[in-house]
Amino acid sequence: MKLVRFGVAMEEPLLEDLDRIVEGRDSTRSEILRDLVRAEVAREKVQHGVDAVATLTLVYDHHVRDLTEKLNELQHRMGERVRATLHVHLSHELCLEVIVLHGRSDEIRRVANQILATRGVKQGGLELIADVPTPTRKSRAHHHA
């Protein structure tokens, strides 16, 4: 892909902060700026109902009455959009769950908000990655050369 050069003006303290990040990552200003732009473009895209993958991470109190059943019910209603889950016992009361989802970003966000608002869910967040095509049943196989 062809690279295009352009100038960027910013306040000196901000540039100094950028240079500290560049040095810490053993990178370049250009690569850091490309990463920032890619992230912002992706954030914009997921607002518009595009194909996406996501991780929904939540910490919840498994002693809250019927919470585990409610969370399982919500995931089962999502069907094949739930691709994998990871469940970790953090303490006697708290569990961590990571749910990997695949589908339209607007649908994923709607269900994620519903799960995060469920009584007993203490904390959580959703990370969406745009422009990942939703596979058909036939295209599920994935092989690396």
pLDDT per position as a tens digit, 69-126: 999 888 888 888 999 999 999 999 999 999 999 999 999 999 999 999 999 999 999 9
Assigned domain for 7 exists: no
Residues sharing a CB contact under 8 Å with residue 96, sequence separation 6 or more, in sequence order: 57, 58, 59, 86, 87, 88, 90
Q: Report residue 130's pLDDT band, with 50, 70 and 90 as the boundaries.
A: confident
pLDDT of residue 100: 95
Same domain for 119 and 65 = yes
Same domain for 107 and 39 = no
Same domain for 121 and 62 = yes
Query: Can you name the residues that pair with 111 across neighbouring β-strands?
Result: none
Query: Can you name the residues that pair with 61 across neighbouring β-strands?
Result: 94
Same domain for 61 and 119 = yes
Q: How far apart (Å, rounded) are the C-alpha atoms in residues 11 and 93?
A: 48
Average pLDDT over residues 50-78: 91
Say if residue 145's pLDDT is above 90.
Answer: no
Backbone angles phi, psi at 80, to 5 degrees: -70, -10
Average pLDDT over residues 33-46: 84
Same domain for 126 and 61 = yes
Assigned domain for 136 exists: no
pLDDT of residue 15: 94
User: Is the model's pTM score more than 0.75?
Assistant: no
What single-letter DSSP state applies at residue 28? -
Contact (CB, 8 A) for 50 and 130: yes
Q: Which tokens go with 34?
A: 């490309």
Separation in Å, CA 120 to CA 36, 111, 117, 127, 144: 35, 16, 9, 21, 41
Q: Report residue 39's pLDDT band, with 50, 70 and 90 as the boundaries.
A: confident
pLDDT of residue 49: 80
Same domain for 66 and 95 = yes
Assigned domain for 101 exists: yes
Assigned domain for 21 exists: yes
Of 59, 35, 46, which Cα lies nearest the Cα of 128? Answer: 46
Assigned domain for 25 exists: yes
Q: What is the CATH number of the domain that holds 125?
A: 3.30.70.1150
pLDDT of residue 40: 84
Same domain for 103 and 39 = no
Q: Which tokens go with 116?
A: 């995060």
Mean pLDDT taken over the chain: 88
Say if residue 47's pLDDT is above 90.
Answer: no
Assigned domain for 82 exists: yes
pLDDT of residue 143: 58
Same domain for 39 and 56 = no
How many Cα atoms are found within 13 Å in the side-chain-facing hemisphere of 75?
A: 19
Assigned domain for 109 exists: yes
Q: Could you identify the residue written with the tokens 């990655």?
A: 129
Assigned domain for 143 exists: no
Domain that holds residue 39: 12-46
Say if residue 141's pLDDT is above 70.
Answer: no
Q: How many domains does the chain have?
A: 2
